[in-house]
């Protein structure tokens, strides 16, 4: 059950609205009741946000890029106190990230700056042909 919960939290992890789990149109099924508390808690903390269409997509796999965004939020990217840190990280890794086609360069540079992600990890998680691939369990464990 513990592994199932970890995987579920990662799968649920990213989105783009600040609603509770029951506010997501696709989280009302009885089979998902066990995850609602965790989803609500992470939504309240702005770690996960839901998609623009009001869905949470709990059955969709999480991509490597989504996992990186989640990791950045968990480690403080969304906090007001991190603004200066984020700017410094973005400037430090601007050149390194020029070849990566992602709208989340600030989040990735933040992870690099904090030491959560290494330059070697960029190939595995953020390369253009990798970033939209489903995250594997061992990759989640590495993060």
Maximum Cα–Cα distance across the chain: 48
Q: How confident is the model at residue 114 (pLDDT cuts 50, 70, 90)?
A: very high
Which range (5-9, 34-38, 90-94) has the least confidence? Answer: 5-9
Which range (8-17, 30-39, 89-98) has the least confidence? Answer: 8-17
Query: Is the pLDDT score of 67 beyond 50?
Result: yes
Reported residue count of the chain is 143
| pTM attached to this predicted model | 0.77
**8 A C-beta contact, residue 67 and residue 60:** no
Residue of 13 and 115 predicted with greater confidence: 115
Per-residue 3-state assignment (H helix, E strand, C coil) for 46-90: CCCCCCCCCCCCCCCCCEHHHHHHHHHHHCCCCCHHHHHHHHHHH
| pLDDT over 90 percentage in the chain | 50
Two tokens at 109? 């540079």
Cβ neighbours, 10 Å, residue 82: 16
């Amino acid at each position: 059950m513990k592994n199932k919960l970890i995987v579920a939290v990662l799968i649920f992890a990213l989105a783009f609205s600040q609603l509770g789990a029951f506010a997501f149109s696709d989280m009302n099924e009885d089979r998902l009741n066990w995850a609602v508390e965790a989803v609500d808690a992470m939504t309240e903390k702005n770690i996960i946000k839901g998609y623009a269409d009001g869905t949470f997509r709990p059955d969709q796999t999480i991509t490597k890029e989504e996992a990186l965004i989640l990791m950045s939020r968990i480690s403080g990217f969304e906090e007001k106190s991190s603004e200066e840190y984020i700017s410094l990280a973005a400037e430090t890794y601007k050149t390194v990230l020029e070849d990566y086609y992602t709208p989340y360069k600030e989040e990735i540079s933040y992870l690099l700056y904090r030491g959560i992600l290494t330059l070697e990890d960029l190939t595995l998680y953020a390369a253009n042909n990798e970033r939209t691939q489903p995250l594997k369990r061992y990759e989640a464990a590495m993060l």
